[in-house]
């Protein structure tokens, strides 16, 4: 039931609120779409284990987070997931491929993507939504605009999955390093219980966090930028491991340049660089982006937010990264 003006407790309450739409508590949705004892639970558990091996240097495979900038059409997302499942199988010896599932959609969409055999990675924007979907997520990100937020650092300290913190929008890597230090500690913060009740959450700290280089005033995917970021990590007595975002400022917001960025990263890997443990790529079935126009049908599988690589280029990019990992392996 919506909260209307009659629900106000006083004249000073909710003066700028039109309505409030209550949601069912997380435990209700989990009860309707459970994963306990299912292949989805096994997939998420196994994927998180494999990611920890990569992050802690126990596996030389590369983590790849690839998929749409955001999901506006669940049918297209599932079609993409089905194709990505084949790529995941093809490159399983060299790459740990997860689907980038950045969305504010119902729990059902993530369940179905996992049911297609593809683990999901998403950005955590608040401290409440993880209670609804956290058990379905194998890897999480904290965006460039929220890496400096103490609330998000506290959240990451309690998440069950590995978490990447992006550098600031201006390219500041130190705030991401500071975020790793904070997320590794125990915290107490306000959130909700799965029953929907407001609660204080006490966390243990998350030692599966890493930074993500996404560019800033200038790109920072090159070897010199990797070395500089790793020097900052070493100075903070943190493991020298990082992910590189092929999109955003690293591609100067030109989606085609992701291929060039990935090529540079591949050359670093092939040359023996082991501190790069992952990459991010914005990709969809159809390249580019489209505008939402009243009365005009949308192109199936094309982004309505950031422009993405098309499927054919995505296949080529994954194959090139897998080859780079094999070359790096031969050097060991």
- Going 122 to 126 to 127 to 130, the CA torsion angle's sign is negative
Global pTM value: 0.94
DSSP label at residue 289: E
Q: Is residue 275 a contact partner of residue 60, using CB atoms and an 8 Å limit?
A: no
Domain borders along the chain are 34-292+305-331
What lies within 8 Å, CB to CB, of 5 at 6+ separation is none
Cα–Cα distance, 117 to 138 (Å, whole number):
12
CATH code that applies to domain 34-292+305-331 = 3.20.20.70
Tens digit of pLDDT at every position of the chain (332 positions):
454 545 778 889 988 988 888 889 999 989 999 999 999 999 999 999 999 999 999 999 999 999 998 888 999 999 999 999 999 999 999 999 999 997 655 688 889 999 999 999 999 988 888 999 999 999 999 999 999 999 999 999 999 999 999 999 999 999 999 999 999 999 999 999 999 999 999 999 999 999 999 999 999 999 999 999 999 999 999 999 999 999 999 999 999 999 999 999 999 999 999 999 999 999 999 999 999 999 999 999 999 999 999 999 999 999 999 999 999 999 97
């Amino acid at each position: 039931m919506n909260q209307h003006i009659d629900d106000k407790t006083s004249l000073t309450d909710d003066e700028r609120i039109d309505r409030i739409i209550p949601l069912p508590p997380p435990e209700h949705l989990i009860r309707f779409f459970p994963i306990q004892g299912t292949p989805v639970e096994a997939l998420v558990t196994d994927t998180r284990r494999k990611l920890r091996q990569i992050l802690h240097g126990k596996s030389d495979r590369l983590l790849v987070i690839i998929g749409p900038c955001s999901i506006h059409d669940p049918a297209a997302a599932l079609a993409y997931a089905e194709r990505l499942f084949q790529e995941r199988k093809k490159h399983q010896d060299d790459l740990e491929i997860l689907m980038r599932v950045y969305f504010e959609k119902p729990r059902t969409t993530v369940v179905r993507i996992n049911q297609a055999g593809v683990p999901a990675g998403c950005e955590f924007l608040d401290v409440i939504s993880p209670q609804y979907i956290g058990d379905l997520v194998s890897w999480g990100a904290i965006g460039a605009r929220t890496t400096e937020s103490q609330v998000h650092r506290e959240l990451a300290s309690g998440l069950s999955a590995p978490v990447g913190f992006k550098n600031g929008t201006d390219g500041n890597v130190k705030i991401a390093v500071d975020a790793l230090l904070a997320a590794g500690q125990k915290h107490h913060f306000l959130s909700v219980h799965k029953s929907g009740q407001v609660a204080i959450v006490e966390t243990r700290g998350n030692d599966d966090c890493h930074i993500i280089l996404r560019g800033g005033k200038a790109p920072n995917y090159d070897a010199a930028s990797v070395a500089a970021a790793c020097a900052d990590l070493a100075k903070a007595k943190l493991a020298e491991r990082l992910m590189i975002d092929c999109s955003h400022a690293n591609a100067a917001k030109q989606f085609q340049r992701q291929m060039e960025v990935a090529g540079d990263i591949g050359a670093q890997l092939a040359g023996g660089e082991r501190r790069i443990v992952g990459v991010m790529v914005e990709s969809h079935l159809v390249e580019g982006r489209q505008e939402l126009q009243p009365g005009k049908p949308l192109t199936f599988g094309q982004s309505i937010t950031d422009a993405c690589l098309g499927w054919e280029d995505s296949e080529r990019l994954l194959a090139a990264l897998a080859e780079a990992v094999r070359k790096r392996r031969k050097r060991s």
